[in-house]
Amino acid sequence: MNFPVNAGFGELDLDEAVARLTSPKHDFRLAHEVAALGPRVALVSPGSSEDPWGIFGAHFGQLSAASPDLLRVGIGAVAELTAESARSLGRLLGTRLENRSRLEEIAIDLSPLSGGTLPAALIAAFLSGLRRSTDRTCRFAVFINPATDFYEGELDRSIATGDAQWFSAALTDTPSNLLTPSVMAGISLQIALALGLSCVVRNEDRLIAEGFGAILAIGEGSANRPCLVEIGSTEPDAVVFVGKGVTFDSGGLSLKGPAGMQGMRYDMAGAAAALAAVAALARCGNSDGVRAVFPLVENLPGPGAVKPGDVVRAYDGTRIQVMDTDFEGRVVLSDALALAGASQPRAIVSVATLTHQATVALGAEVAAVLSRDAALGRQLLAVAVRAGDAMWPLPWGERYRSQVRLSPTTVRNHPMVDQGRAITAALFLGEFVPGDIAFAHIDLGGSVWAGDASTGSATGTAVATLIELARELTAKIQ
């Protein structure tokens, strides 16, 4: 099956995409001697403040036939280089090398970097950018300063993270007529089969039989029926990533305007991130104790669509008053969170394009973190810095809980006020996670997308953070 990923990127073959995500084989190797490298990318730090070669992001092509450098890219002062800027630099490299990828091998000289997590972040981001090229015949040699504590296993994990970021972005880019709930569920099953993971897909009949009323209610307006996916570890005390998988969001009967609808194929970015993270962990052999749960649904105003004022019953028995059908993400997540919490997992992290107010507060490139558990929130933010994902904390504002909680058994999906909606959205989600379970929420806002709805593309944000957080929480760091 082929489907277009984005204008200018040709078509993505589904089988090839899954194979690239799940296979431990890749086209990168560690080079041990820089002198032996062929055409190469050189990272250049400034020799002085006036040195144009080292300005961050400046890039220069081959100066002469005798020069060994295919491309020189400025990295700025090494001491000021962060994982986030390293990822940005990697994306730049991928973009600049797309037209040169017919070379047999391109070398990347990372020796100017000081070590730590930065080479891994750079390699992963570079791969993520490069994988958008339609010509992938080239191999890559990576030279690391021998004094740097960076080994083959770390290279493999970096590449796996890059592949996961690319895969998450590719799914998010996909037009919603081609990535329906059932198609994405099928992709999940294919990934599980390739990696030997447990995967349960609850179709509409099972959702009805088991009482997932929230997912069913939002899905009633679409001919493409909803489902719920669990993939990964079956251990009760696992770390669980719960992702929002609304493959298209029209707003339902609370209909969005035309401009607001144009980019709504990306409303499943949370589910894509959760799926890709679990796959990358499994590929590297450390998926024990981690699973992803995500509802897949379309929010359309069809004949059976849920109406403002309707009351639906979630998986845990909580009644949800649906006051705005365009606040559907928290409704479908309620069932997934209730299911995830039923096994008393070690921690639950939800990840979703949930509110516009997160973007209003933090801008289009920064995701919001709201954590009921202070320690988990601090850990999540620290991991995001190391992984290169831009995230910032918003408060877990219990003082606003009454805006969503009408009684011990009833909540509403709209706070009925205009302010603080990123906070009340997280509080709503927290109603479905038992209080003794560590819970944090990542509101992706607009950070999942760069550019306009037509020619822009997904960023793959949060994937690296979820991968590294899982490794820490499960003590499976390799």
**DSSP structure class, residue 255:** P
End-to-end CA distance of the chain: 35
Is the pLDDT at 60 greater than 70, yes or no?
no
Cα–Cα distance, 134 to 142 (Å, whole number): 21
pLDDT tens, 344-397? 999 999 999 999 999 999 999 999 999 999 999 999 999 999 999 999 999 999
Cα–Cα distance, 207 to 423 (Å, whole number): 29
Cα–Cα distance, 246 to 328 (Å, whole number): 9
Burial class (CB in 10 A: 0-12, 13-18, 19+), 101: middle
pLDDT tens, 195-228? 999 999 999 999 999 999 999 999 999 999 999 9
Task: Give the Cβ contact number of residue 434 at 10 Å.
Answer: 15
- Give the catalytic positions in this structure: 256, 330
* Range scoring the smallest mean pLDDT among 2-16, 62-76, 314-328: 2-16
E strand or H helix at 361? helix 356-362
Is the pLDDT at 6 greater than 50, yes or no?
no
Cα–Cα distance, 195 to 188 (Å, whole number): 11
DSSP-based three-state secondary structure for 324 = coil
Average pLDDT for 156-170: 90
Q: Give the Å distances, CA to CA, from 125 to 44, 182, 388, 401.
A: 18, 30, 9, 39
Residue 437: name the closest of 238, 256, 274, 289 by CA. 238
Average pLDDT for 440-444: 99
Q: Which of these CATH numbers, 3.40.1440.60, 3.40.220.10, 3.30.420.40, 1.10.240.10, describes 33-145?
A: 3.40.220.10
Is the pLDDT at 307 greater than 70, yes or no?
yes
**299 alpha carbon, distance to own chain's centre:** 21
Cα–Cα distance, 133 to 101 (Å, whole number): 8
Specify the pLDDT at position 475.
76
pLDDT tier at 94 (50, 70, 90 boundaries)? confident
Average pLDDT across the chain, whole number: 88
**230 alpha carbon, distance to own chain's centre:** 17
Is the pLDDT at 281 greater than 60, yes or no?
yes
Cα–Cα distance, 161 to 68 (Å, whole number): 29
- Phi and psi (nearest 5°) for 302? -70, 180
Average pLDDT for 167-192: 96
* Range scoring the smallest mean pLDDT among 2-6, 311-315, 422-426: 2-6
What residues have CB less than 8 Å from 401, skipping those under 6 apart?
427
What residue type is assigned to position 392 of the chain? W
Q: Sheet harboring 310-313: ordered strands across?
A: 310-313, 319-322, 410-412, 405-407
Q: Where are the beta strands (DSSP E) in 52-178?
A: 59-61, 69-74, 105-109, 139-143
Average pLDDT for 423-445: 98
Average pLDDT for 35-47: 72
Average pLDDT for 95-109: 72
Cα–Cα distance, 268 to 266 (Å, whole number): 5
**DSSP structure class, residue 309:** T
Fold equal for 33-145 and 174-473: no
Is the pLDDT at 37 greater than 70, yes or no?
no
Specify the pLDDT at position 114.
61
* Range scoring the smallest mean pLDDT among 14-23, 244-253, 347-356: 14-23
Burial class (CB in 10 A: 0-12, 13-18, 19+), 47: exposed
**DSSP structure class, residue 402:** G
Q: Give the Å distances, CA to CA, from 68 to 28, 72, 98, 471.
A: 19, 10, 19, 39
Cα–Cα distance, 395 to 387 (Å, whole number): 22
Cα–Cα distance, 354 to 426 (Å, whole number): 9
Domain boundaries, the chain: 33-145, 174-473
Is the pLDDT at 297 greater than 80, yes or no?
yes
Residue 344: name the closest of 264, 453, 191, 239 by CA. 239
pLDDT tens, 118-161? 777 777 777 766 665 544 556 788 887 766 667 778 888 888 99
More confident residue, 201 or 37: 201
**DSSP structure class, residue 221:** T
Specify the pLDDT at position 61.
66
Fold of 174-473: Aminopeptidase (3.40.630)
